[in-house]
Structure 1
Amino acid sequence: MAETVVSFVSDHLATLLREEGSLLGGLREEVQFIKDELGHMRAFLKVAEPKEDDDPRLQEWIKQVAYDIEDVLDEFVLRFAGYRHHGFCGSLQRILKAIKSLPARHQVASEIQSIKSRIKNISEGRQRYQVEFGIDDCVTGSSTMNDSWRYSRDDALLVEEAKLVGIDQPKQHLISMLLEGHDHQLKVISVVGMAGLGKTTLVKKVHEDPDVRKNFPVRAWVTVSQTCDFPKLLRDLIRKLHKDLDKSAPQSIESMTTAELKEIVKDFLQQAGRYAIVFDDVWDVEFWNEIKFALPEGNYGNRVMLTTRNADVAPASCTESQDFVYKMEPLSIKDSWTLFCNKIFKGNRCPDHLMDVAKAVLDKCDGLPLAILAIGGLLASKDVSRIDEWEMIQHSLGGKLERVKRILSLSYNDLPSHLKPCLLYLSIYPEDYLIDCQGLIPLWIAENFVEWREGMSIEDVAWGYLGELIRRSLIQVTRVFYEGSPVTCQIHDLLREVILIKSREQNMVTITTGQPMTWPSEKVRRLVVHSSSNSSNIQHHQQRQFYSFEHLRSFITVRSTNPLLSKIFLSEVLRSSKLLKVLELVGQEIEETPNEIFNLLHLTYLSLFGTKVARVPRTIGKLQHLEYLNLGNTGVRELPVEILKLQKLRHLTVFQRVDPSDEDFGIHGFKGPSKLGGLLALQRLNTIDASSGSVIVIEIGKLTQLRELFITQLRREDGKELCSSLANLTSLRELSVESIGKGDDREIIDLNHHLPSLSSSSSSSSSCSFLQSLRMLFIRGRLEKMPKWVAHLHGLVRIDLNWSGLRAEEDPLEFLQHLPNLGEISFCGSYQGERLCFKVGGFLKLKRLWLRKMEGLRWMTVEEGACPNLRKLVLEQLPLLEDLPSGIQHLSHLQELGLYAMSSRMLEKVENQEEESEDYRRMTHIPEIVIGSYTDDGGWRIRRLWGKQKKTSLA
């Protein structure tokens, strides 16, 4: 496994030789020698890695040397980099600096010579190992990647949907158990089975089934996991129950005791009506003994479902005669084969020459879906003409649970070297943690796990890595965005166990929860703090004995808030971690930025998201290597001019959330220096306050690398300058523009200006690249006219128009209907006209449509052939719209119709239909209709009409 470390350090050396070569002086030749030797090590380890379990000595030896090399190189850069001066005075400073640093240079030279000597010993040892194991050192030191890793949003990322087999019968069986019987007592159904059988997948399908949703209007899903914090779980349950009924959970739950939280749950469920709650991944009997007192029996026929791998939990929870234990069985041979072929051959038949070895491999999976998908993901990357590669994998498989772990280890070992650290890095997240993909990508980049590729941004390369791990079934997508790209993901518990072991073996990550722990004997390189039920322990424990963090590269908090991180502990970590590159303190109770941060000259990634920091000191300019700065949801409203010194800065996020209870919910941006355009490397700018005038808008046009741009407080007179600036942003993918003011009183956004490189011909291919690259457009403010260039946004997939107030003659549908990729529209106060008509042949890709607060709208028409793929339609606060859209029966793929605060006449028509009526026949194809009305406390009262019977289910 040392190949990962060697690969990382080798790439780091290449960067050093390229960017800091002038500083190396006489050491350049020595460093080049080390780099070349690391290439040979990397090639050798690539072949030797499968034998690591037999003799890990060489791996351990090289791993330690590789880490030592990284330390010496980072120390070298820390001492000598960043002193480039110009002119006569600059020359004098260079001479003086060189004289002063001679002892330090001598020390680095001595350390490099020592490493060179150790590497020579390793080279001799490598030759002995080649003879002993018969390993042929014939692999080149450079890794290659074919196009298969590239991320494609056309891939079926929700693999469960495409690859579920053998689930229909058990699903229907469990549904019948939930629905049958007329008893009024609480019924508990436990689904039990070993890890990897698909218990969670099955129960999730049952929980989301329309018949179940119809019969149980109050539902919640709670993941328990092995490291269960019971009070936290109860708070999570309370929030989910309130959210299901579109209510806000009381703030007081944060300070309640366990007993008080149980009472809150019990009282809520008693008043809410019939409920069905899932507790996923229950590990011990004690959990059920605790939670059952919070679940009222009631007289409604309530249901609870558990999933567990512990055979003792199921009978303990299902003690009454009406309760039920469902034993999850492995897939049948037929279903296993179907899943196997779906994964590897995309549903096609297995080639004849691979049939025997394929069946032998499948036989060792024992019908476990997790094992089949994992081994299938591995085999799918192999050449189908190379039966020897398949046979090698077959012979490597070992029984049951340990075999699954072996399969997962094989899947890891088979990964290209650039993907291994990315997967191991997921060990920083707790069990069952929902990983934010957009947050993960910059962490991978900051850790130097992602290779630069010619003609591609490094972010696109990283998304490609994620896509490859998904295709190999090593990462499970839990939520996708409008166009299929992953939003959140998870790793299976068993895979997490595997990568935790491998991560510890590589000394990649050290995790603490604040409980007393034995720190690794090796140098801690990445320290991750997780939350703990006893959050004071880290204070007391660490104050007794601090550990050396001089080799620390990353310090990350996950689900961790004060007082888990005492100021003393944080200060000690920052003070002694001179080589720190990644610092993430999300949600910490920090009121000001610790001064120690500005001495971290290697720092590449800094996130203080959700802290109470309100000011950025001028010393921010010392962080010359900073590429990612996240001050989102803080009190920061202005950045000092020293921010312009950060020439490597690519992601800048600074905003403050407005009170969410405000109907016109938005954010405050930050005021930047007048020469913001000097940050030429910026790719994400979120959110710049443009109220200071046209100067800042003009500066935006100099940021030609921008991919995401969020502007707030735009003045009307700056619209022309903004259009001129946008024409220069040829890589822009996401644009959000917000004007000064609130609601209907917002100032006009004047964007109806000619873009300099836009041809007057709508069919011309010479339109500016900004128009071709933009995928998301959000405009919050009044528009006198719809910008003509919007009709040229052929790559657009989503548009939001809020408070645009377009007049009837400026029908926004005319501009949007022929955009070939538009999948989502949200209008709020966007149109003053009386009629909206979706014309035949228009909006061919549209899947989701929200229409809100357009007080003049009286009629809505959908012609046959319009919006053929619409899945969700939401109408909210349209007081004059008294009938369902004319032609709604043409929306054959519509899955959900939402009607919120609509006219009483419309609701009466929808709710009181006779089955023989024309209106009933127009909507009978819609599986779910959701009706919402305001409650006295400002929340929503939800009613659902289900299926063809459209019987009301009161929530």
Structure 2
Amino acid sequence: MAPGGVHITQVLDLSSNIQRLSIDIYLTIRKAFQSNLPRIHGLGYVDCHLNNLKKFQILHSDSLASVMDKLQSIQKEFESLQPFLQAVAEARHNDLDAIQHCATQLIGKAHEVEYIVDACIREEAPVCCLEHWILDIMEDITLIREEVAEIREKKMDLVALNTVPVNTSNLARSPMMNEEIIGFEDEIEKLRDQLIKGTKGRDVISVVGMPGLGKTTLAYRLYYDRLVSSHFNIRAQCCVSQVYSRKDLLIAILRDAISENFECREKQADELADLLRKTLFPERYLILVDDVWETSVWDDLIGSFHDANNGSRIILTTRNHEVAMYTRFQSDPLPLRMFNNGESWELLRKKVFGEESFSPLLTEIGQQIAKKCGQLPLSVVLVAGILAEMEKKVECWNQLANNLGPHIHEDSRAVIEQSYQILPYRLRPCFLYFGALLEDSVISVPKLTQLWISEGFVKSCEGKNLEDIAEGYLENLIGRNLVMGTKRSSRGKIKACRIHDLLHDFCKERAKDDMRLLWQKWDQNANPSSRLSGHKQLAHRMCIYGEGYRAGDWSSCLSHVVSIILHNNRLSVGLDSHIFHGVKFLKVLDMEFTRINSFSFDLVYLRYFAAETSRFSNKAGCRELETLKLKSLSEVSLPITFWEMDKLRHVDISNCSFTSEIARELIENSKDLHDLQTLSTPCFSCAQEAELILRKTPNLLELRCKVKGVDNFECYVLNFPARIETLKIHLSYTRDTKTIPFCISAPTLTNLTLKNFYLHCQHLSQIGSLQNLQVLSLKGISFETCKWEVRDDEFPQLKVLKLHSGKAHFEEWSVADDAFPNLEHLVLRDCKFLKEIPSWFAEISSLKSIEVRNCNENVDKSASDIRETQVEDYQNSKFEVFITRENNKSDSGTYYLQPHMY
């Protein structure tokens, strides 16, 4: 008998019951947790998990003491299976369901371990439950490892999964970017004439048709056409979609019309409409309004499109004939026709083979497949994306033809599903992530790849940059015709992209289950908890849109959410950061257009944050942050805690400064930010400040900065980071042009922009000696004695030269033999005092085009003479010259010099 009259068997029974109860509690918690995990994971998630696991074992050794040995064993297991995940990441196809299942299971275990570690640290669950859980995870990982070994033993070698790098040649065939479009040649010629030769009055060019006909592709082809683009002083575009905001449409147009950094979220829609009207009047403008569903869109915008009787145009695409007729001015809408069978086959052939030769045996079956596409271009390009990844054998093509069925154009989703099913595992979450974006939205490639990386979609590879790997993923999706590129940089890289409406619908629906993505419309009167209580499963990723959000307690309903994206927010007051404190696993918080009162989070897993704020708290404890984007109309002074975020890769803070002498001393003693690659837009007030920041960011690839207080630089030689590739420097806070106060020494520099500086001969010679410089943009630049003398062998690799003189005097320009040997494009703007373009440009065999905008007759004539020499003497038949000159607002003209004119 035990003391107090309690029998020992009763104690044992009680202990046994407690143990069973703890197991029941654990099993209930685990089952609920597992049921809410995504079905598709990012292969880079384990990389992030291992880093955190190692760090937490050091920082929280006391809290994790009871499970430390087991965590270290799990860590070793994950590390041993990293080569397996790497092989899956490099696989070209999903040939083995078993491999995909193993990868999904393994990453799921990483999510569970993350939860257990967090629960231990926060003491939010009984230790006995967590110990049961972690033991079961160890057994599960052992089973996964054995299954992977069994796959290898059966000679289903992971390397055999076509781990050849995917051929990205299809990238050049992206219909949005290509110079040539199959079909619609007559339509393009007709619409081009309406745009540049039609009536003087404002006109609307409407393209109408069913989804998948190619309305957007045709519209963008015209928008980026060199003849069309050079005809207009201002070009801008916006995508509408079913759910739209007038304010967002106006801001999108203003960003193209004024500046991509244009910000005026404080203004109301009517104020923005008035600003747009003043911006466009009395310029000749071209506006592309894509995917208009309702006539109300036109009513919201037309007031800003003033008719100055100067040939301004609006291109509009819609699937609604009523909308096309409603917006009609003078030109009738163009109903876009279906492809004929010949055009369908030609498009399929081009997308699959390009200009490569192929077996004649594939022609017959290829024509049959093209015919099955029902003369719908979207179906053709999707099927082409599937064929491009298959072996070029008749039996393979026959198999696809049989799988497609007789009328695939009647069910585009079936084709999209097939395209999705053949995607490699690594690309699936990247593709479905487009479902988290607004329909018809255009997203910048840097932002997209940064989000992918922060979500854990991108698997690291030794010797490769994560951003380069992510861009490779995007190129692969473009090559498969699942994503469209919309903008290119001067160096030919894709700057922005989007997906078709039908593909967006697929991604949004599929991501709901496979990625636990939940779209939620909230307003200021809604309670977050009540909104989410009706959902059977917890959201893993949340997209919120609406007119405003109630700043209530979000933590109770978003505790397991790993990413939140806020769309279309127009709150009259800013959000408080404390509402996110309970969202403990948050890794992505994208509030790019949402005001938040201060940046003072303590989110230990947060990797991506974007918002509007002017307050950066010293209490911010986001040590895992990789991407930080803060927009502010006022100056933001960075606290010392910024330099403790040693994982930062990309920082974009408008108007940020380093002003305090004390702060500079603290920064000097802080860690270097070795991972930081892009920094924008610090404002330097003295050379010592700039030198310090450059020294603390030794691996910087891109820097956009402003300079004030030029006199404080005293002609320093700034030593830019050894790997710097892009440098953009803007002189601000001065009425007069000042001499550039420092010398630029950066051997790896490929892209340089200088604005509002005065350049001496030694500056120009130093820039000309940069051996890897490919793009040079000089804006508002003045030259010593108003002359620029380019010497022998200067600018050896330059491909693009842009000169925007503005009010600065630039009169004489001499170019020695052998300068600019690789130049491809020359752009001159507002060089009104320049006497002529040097004749040496006629001898540059690599030159493809000259664009002259608003200069003078002598410059126009010299451009024409250069073209004549290029075409007649050197048979450079593709050489183009674009001339636009405005003598006054009522008399303007555009001149095109093309090969066929001679």
Shorter-chain TM-score bucket reads 0.7 to 0.9
> SS at 2:268's partner residue?
helix
Deviation at 1:931, TM superposition (A): 3.5
Paired amino acid for 2:800: K
Secondary structure at 1:824 match in 2: strand
- Contact persistence 2:43–2:459 (CA under 8 A): no
Task: Indicate whether 1:859 and 2:794 are aligned.
Answer: no
Give the superposition deviation at 1:850.
0.7
Which position in structure 1 is the counterpart of 2:799? 846
Other-structure match for 1:198? 214
- 1:326 & 1:458 partners in 2: Cα distance? 44
Query: CA 1:441/1:918 → structure 2, altered by over 3 Å: closer, same or farther?
Result: closer
Counterpart-to-counterpart distance in 1, 2:463 and 2:86: 26
**Residue 440 of structure 1: SS of its match in structure 2?**
helix
Question: Partner residue of 1:549?
Answer: 558
Residue 198 of structure 1 deviates from its aligned partner by: 1.1
State the partner residue of 1:776: none
Matches within 5 A, 1:706-717: 706-709=700-703
Partner Cα distance (1:175, 1:693) in 2: 51
Mean CA deviation greater in 17-26 or 188-197: 17-26
User: In the TM superposition, what is the alpha-carbon distance from 1:874 to its structure 2 partner?
Assistant: 1.9
1:333-352 correspondence runs (5 A)? 333-352=341-360
Q: Could you give the per-residue CA deviations for residues 352-391 of structure 1, whole angstroms, max 9, x where no partner exists?
A: 454444333323222333222222233223333x655544
Aligned twin of 1:5 = 41
Match of 2:445 in 1: 437
Whole-angstrom distance in 1 between the partners of 2:184 and 2:538: 48
Residue 536 of structure 2 aligns to which amino acid in structure 1?
S
Q: Give 2:270's aligned amino acid.
A: M
Matches within 5 A, 1:231-630: 233=249, 239=254, 254=268, 256=270, 272=282, 279-284=289-294, 306-314=316-324, 324-384=332-392, 389-398=396-405, 399-514=407-522, 520-530=535-545, 532=546, 535-536=547-548, 538-539=549-550, 548-563=557-572, 567=575, 571-572=578-579, 574-593=580-599, 595=600, 597-598=601-602, 600-608=603-611, 611-617=612-618, 619-620=619-620, 622-630=621-629
Is contact 2:208-2:215 (8 Å) kept?
A: yes
CA distance in 1, matches of 2:92, 2:446: 34
For the pair 1:109 / 2:117, whether they are aligned, the reply is no
State the shift of 1:203 in Å. Answer: 3.2
Contact 1:508 1:526 in 2 (8 A): yes
CA distance in 2, matches of 1:710, 1:177: 40
AA paired with 1:605?
A: Y
After superposition, the Cα gap between the structure-2 partners of 1:894 and 1:864, relative to the gap in structure 1 and judged at 3 Å, is farther
TM-fit CA distance, 1:801: 4.0
Cα displacement string for residues 438-478 of structure 1 (whole angstroms, at most 9, x for unaligned residues): 12222111111111101112222222222222222222111
- Residue of structure 2 equivalent to 1:753: none
Given the alignment, which residue of 891, 894, 897 partners 1:945?
894
Q: Contact 1:71–1:551 (CA<8 Å) still a contact in 2?
A: no
Instruction: Give, in whole Å, the separation in 1 of the partners of 2:69 and 2:81.
Output: 18
CA distance in 2, matches of 1:297, 1:782: 45
Shift of 1:577: 0.9
Deviations along 1:212-256, whole A, 9 cap, x unmatched?
67998887655332223356546766x489759x9x999997253
Q: Is the 8 A contact 1:714 1:738 kept in 2?
A: no
Establish whether residue 172 from structure 1 lines up as the match of residue 197 from structure 2: no
Q: Percent identity?
A: 20
Higher mean C-alpha displacement, 491-500 vs 13-22: 13-22
Alignment partners' CA distance in 2, 1:275 and 1:578? 48
- For 2:9, the equivalent position in structure 1 comes to none
SS in 1 for 2:849: coil
Question: Residues 2 and 163 from structure 1, CA distance in 2 versus in 1: closer, same or farther, beyond 3 angstroms?
Answer: farther
TM superposition shift of 1:330: 2.7
For residues 40 and 815 of structure 1, the distance between their equivalents in structure 2, rounded to whole angstroms, comes to 47
Q: Which has the higher contact order (CA 8 A, sep 6+)?
A: 2
Distance 1:694 1:185, change over 3 A: closer
Secondary structure at 2:609 match in 1: strand
Give 3-state SS (helix, strand or coil) of 2:486's partner.
strand
Taking structure 1 as the reference length, the TM-score comes to 0.71
Unpaired segments of 5 or more residues in structure 1?
A: 53-58, 82-99, 128-135, 659-665, 749-780, 901-905, 935-939, 950-955
Contact 1:344 1:379 in 2 (8 A): yes
Structure 1 counterpart of 2:650: 651
Equivalents in 1 of 2:50, 2:387: separation in Å? 33
1:875-926 Cα offsets, whole Å, 9 max, x none, are 44665x44565567668743420236xxxxx55x679x999x9999899997
| Contact 1:782 1:803 (8 Å CA) reproduced | no
Q: Which amino acid aligns with 2:799?
A: L
Contact 1:526-1:552 within 8 A present in 2 as well: yes
Corresponding residue for 1:224?
240
Paired amino acid for 1:587: F
Structure 1 Cα separation of the partners of residues 636 and 690 of structure 2: 15
In the TM superposition, what are the counterparts of 1:767-806 in structure 2 within 5 Å?
Answer: 781-783=740-742, 793=747, 795-802=748-755, 805-806=758-759
Q: 1: distance between equivalents of 2:682 and 2:195?
A: 52
Cα distance in structure 1, aligned partners of 2:161 and 2:586: 30
Contact 1:826 1:849 in 2 (8 A): yes
Q: Is the 8 A contact 2:778 2:802 kept in 1?
A: yes
Relative to structure 1, the CA distance from residue 675 to residue 143 in structure 2 (aligned partners, 3 Å threshold; closer, same or farther) is farther
Aligned pairs for 1:72-151 (under 5 A) are: 72-79=112-119, 104-113=126-135, 146=163, 148-149=165-166
Deviations 1:716-748 (A, max 9, x none): 89899975x64xx443333456789847675x7
Distance change >3 Å, CA 884–CA 493, structure 1 → 2: same
Q: CA 1:834–1:306 in structure 2 vs 1: closer, same or farther (change >3 Å)?
A: closer
Cα separation, partners in 2 of 1:42 and 1:543, compared to 1, 3 Å: same
Q: Deviations over 1:454-505 (max 9, x none)?
A: 1112222222222222222222111111211121111111111111111112
- Preserved CA contact (<8 Å) 2:759 2:782: yes
- The 3-state SS of whatever aligns with 1:347 is coil
> How far apart in 1 are the matches of 2:196 and 2:674?
61
CA distance in 2 between partners of 1:580 and 1:505 (Å)? 19
8 Å CA contact 2:175, 2:181 repeated in 1: no
RMSD (Å) for aligned C-alpha atoms: 5.6
Partner deviation per Cα, 1:279-312 (whole Å, 9 max, x = no partner): 4322245656777798889988987654222355
Q: 1:612 to 1:628 in 2, by over 3 A?
A: closer
Aligned residue pairs: how many? 826
Displacement of 1:413 after TM fit? Answer: 1.9
The answer as to whether partners of 1:483 and 1:797 remain within 8 angstroms in 2 is no
**1:92 counterpart residue number:** none
Unaligned runs of 5+ in 2: 1-36, 59-63, 872-878
Contact 1:149-1:465 within 8 A present in 2 as well: no
Q: Is the 8 A contact 1:185 1:298 kept in 2?
A: yes
Change (3 A) 1:653 1:589: closer
Q: Equivalents in 2 of 1:142, 1:735: separation in Å?
A: 41
**Residues 636 and 230 (structure 1), Cα distance of their counterparts in 2 relative to 1, 3 Å cut:** closer
Q: 2:607 touches 2:625 (CA, 8 Å); kept in 1?
A: yes
Q: Which of 693, 699, 705 is the aligned partner of 1:705?
A: 699
Give deviations 1:122-179, integer Å, cap 9, x for gaps: 999x99xxxxxxxx99856799774524879995667541551113112223446678
Structure-1 separation of matches of 2:221 and 2:435 = 28
CA contact (8 A) 2:815 2:840 kept: yes
Question: Which one-letter code corresponds to 1:161 in the other structure?
Answer: N
